Structure 1
Amino acid sequence: MVGTYVVLAIFFIVDILIIGRRPHVPSTKECVQHIAFFVAAALVFGAVMWFVAGPQPAVEFYSGWLTEYSLSIDNLFVFVIIMSNFAVPANLQRYVLSIGITIALVLRGIFIALGSAIVTRFTWVFFLFGAFLLYTAVNLLRGNGDDEEYHENAVIRGLRKVMPISMHYDGENLRTTIDGKRFFTPMLIVFLAIGTTDVMFAFDSIPAIFGLTKDPFIVFTSNIFALLGLQQLYFLLGKLINELVYLPIGLSAVLAFIGVKLIMEALHGNTLPFINGGQGIESVPEIPTWVSLVVIVLCLGVATIASVVKMRSVAADTGAEDAGVAPGESSTVSAAEVGEELEHDSSATQTHDSSAAKHDSAAARPSRA
């Protein structure tokens, strides 16, 4: 167990504190390679757990990892909106993400420790966890389709009133000097926005994972693997934020399922005196872990596939409209028309290049006093 934590700590340090601090925007190829590596690492870890501890812990890990990973993706969508609203420069976004993900890991570690202590002593807390997840699922479903806009909370609005905050960033600095006066940079507000977002998502993720497993080791490792590679995933999701339109519905279904599962488990092991005289209700069925895994995979898979189909349909309709053809109609163009268009584009490009060359030549001449 100690060796596992050491390896995961090395993964996290390399991913967040070393790779994440490189001041550049990663390419799509780089992002895909990093994400594939950490996904493969999670799959291998689950396979090793299967052979060492048996199928039950492995299935619990895979279920927890998929759930936490999907919730982390939802968290990243909010990060994208925050970065956009606060106009964080591209070369600073990886730094902000490294801080945000580190805060998320610390908060989840605290919540896992508290949650583990609570669920082992007070089984009735599953009623609260289940109700909270159902409430979150309904809110997530209602919020689907709303404008993608970040609204500052009361803490940030209050800080803006009492603290001098500059209009521009100064690298990674939280404070800067302008005309001899000290100001906080917008980076402080961004960190606070990211941190408060992490707190809210921790409240969602921890009850969800305890609805799938009670083992603190599985809970913590699934959360760590869900956080690895999120920086690279962020830069891919920045382009897909308006395309995975059905992901909130899939997440809502997952949270609702886990919420119902938690309430059923609470009823099965009930100790509250006003419910069935403080006795567990044996007639309430227990949902096997493998069923949870199948439901999670189906919900997220269907939501993703439906989003891709929707995205392609919209792209096809948009392309047809741009071509002046009604959606669903053929847009056949003759070879002669294509040749004429290419010839026109070529002559226009030559004219543009010639004008640009003249402009550059004039700009290169030294100005006279």
Structure 2
Amino acid sequence: MSPLLFAAEASSDQFARFEVEPWQWAAFVALVATLLMADLLIVHRTAKEVSFKEAAIESGVWITIGLSFTLVVLAWQGGQAGGEYLAGYLIEKSLSIDNVFVWAVLLSYFGVPKQYQFRVLFWGVFGALVLRAIFIFAGVALIERFDFVLYVFGGLLLYSAYKISRHDEAQVHPDTNPVLRAVRKFVPSTSEYDGQKLFTRTQGRLLATPLFAVLLMVEATDVIFAVDSIPAILAVSREPFIVFSSNAFAILGLRALYFCLAGMAGKFRYLNIGLAVILAFVGVKMLLSEVYHLPTWASLAVIVVVLTATIVVSLRADRREAVSS
């Protein structure tokens, strides 16, 4: 057996691996679908503007659900698996904050009425779950089949860390986005909204409303962010169930988080630095995974410390600026 192959197998053994029966996958998917439908058909069954108080409560509920699932994984598969799930959840949750601010730019650019924003983000999250599942299984398969993919993902994370550290806020230019250009060129559209509909019929013609373009843009941005987040989580876990479940619970709470943070981008001025540090950390961890495996608890500690420091320093800087002005 070659040293490289032996190192790869030894590295892989450091991660939690277990068999997930088809019925267990089905049960988890059913749980996620139930939570989504309850949110859509019970909590937000009518189109209305979501207040900050409502969003804060809902965000707290989603975070509680996501963190509580750690206990399920702990009881089911033990401490290693539970630690990997929690690390993956925290990584995805922290990276998703940047995603939220990009959403804010998109919805503002298209002038989406506030009472319709939840519905378009709901379908955006639904699509994101499907796309993430595809990316996750593809990523795990690539790592298991080709050792060099570890270095590709690690290098990609370091490059992403560099990119994020170079700007203070999400740089989004919807008018130059190729997705929006394609919609305007190939899809018959109208500039008028028709409630929460993605398509409307005008003078016998079926036209896409602006919400359709917004939805495609939301999905496109999630694909871009997945390029960062999926390799980042694969640095702390190689078990598909852990990676997907941590992603799913982090994404489920994105809509509520958006309504909490959409207007607060300025208060998190050092967010890009914190995210860059996290991405660089997991990138180095992935690059060195065949030489040294950092314990899951150490990864968790680094992520929690960086997130806490980023939030505290940002809020203190914002408070000092408010006092001085």
Give the TM bin, normalised by the shorter chain.
0.7 to 0.9
RMSD of aligned residue pairs (Cα, Å): 2.1
- 1:314 matched to 2:321? The reply is yes
2:304 equivalent to 1:287:
no
User: Which among 34, 45, 54 is matched to residue 78 of structure 2?
Assistant: 54
Structure 1 segments (4+ residues) deviating >6 Å: none
Q: Which has the higher contact order (CA 8 A, sep 6+)?
A: 2
Q: Which residue of 2 aligns with 1:72?
A: 96
What TM-score does the superposition give when structure 1 sets the normalisation length?
Answer: 0.76
DSSP-derived class of the 1:242 partner: helix
Are positions 1:211 and 2:229 aligned together? no
1:152 equivalent to 2:176? Answer yes
Matches within 5 A, 1:49-128: 49-128=73-152
Deviation at 1:17, TM superposition (A): 5.6
Which sections of structure 1, spanning at least 5 residues, go unmatched?
Answer: 269-283, 319-369
Shift of 1:299: 1.1
What residue number does 1:260 align with?
284
What is the correspondence of 1:120-269 to structure 2 with a 5 Å cutoff?
120-145=144-169, 150-177=174-201, 183-265=207-289, 268=290
Which amino acid in the other structure matches residue 297 of structure 2?
Answer: W
Residue type of the alignment partner of 2:72: V
Q: Find the partner of 1:26 among 50, 58, 65.
A: 50
User: Residues 121 and 21 of structure 1: is their aligned pair in 2 closer, same or farther, counting only changes over 3 Å?
Assistant: farther
Q: 1:21 deviation in Å?
A: 4.6
Q: One-letter code of the match for 1:65?
A: Y
Which of 1 and 2 has greater Rg? 1
Q: Is the 8 A contact 1:127 1:263 kept in 2?
A: yes
CA distance in 2, matches of 1:114, 1:16: 30
Deviation at 1:113, TM superposition (A): 1.5
Q: 1:259-297: per-residue Cα shift (whole Å, max 9, x none)? A: 1111111xx2xxxxxxxxxxxxxxx33211111111111
Aligned partner of 2:306 in structure 1 is: 299
Q: Is the 8 A contact 2:169 2:272 kept in 1?
A: no
Structure 1 residue 44, shift from structure 2 partner:
2.1
Aligned partner of residue 87 in structure 1, secondary structure: coil
* Contact 2:121–2:215, Cα closer than 8 Å, also in 1: no
1:183 Cα deviation after fit: 3.8
Determine the C-alpha separation between the residues in 2 that align with 1:154 and 1:148. Answer: 12
The one-letter code matched in structure 1 to 2:71 is A
Moved more, 287-296 or 6-15: 6-15
C-alpha distance in structure 2 between counterparts of 1:76 and 1:20, whole Å: 19
TM (norm. structure 2) is 0.86
Cα distance, 1:263–1:234 mapped onto 2, change above 3 Å: same
Give the Cα–Cα distance (whole angstroms) in 2 for the partners of residues 220 and 17 of structure 1. 24
Kept in 2, the 8 Å contact 1:152–1:193? The answer is no
1:298-318 superposed Cα distances (whole Å, 9 cap, x missing partner): 111111111111111122122
The 3 A distance-change label for structure 1 pair 184 and 128 is same
Following superposition, the deviation at residue 86 of structure 1 comes to 0.6
1:15-67 CA distance string (max 9 Å, x none): 35653453112222222222222222222221232233221111111100000
1:6 CA drift (Å):
3.1
Number of matched pairs: 301
Provide the C-alpha distance between the structure 1 equivalents of 2:255 and 2:136, rounded to a whole number of angstroms: 23
* Distance in 2 between residues matched to 1:11 and 1:222, nearest whole Å: 15
Amino acid across the alignment from 1:285: Y
Secondary structure of 1:75's match? helix
Moved more, 9-18 or 228-237: 9-18
Using the alignment, how far apart are the partners of 1:256 and 1:30 within structure 2? 35
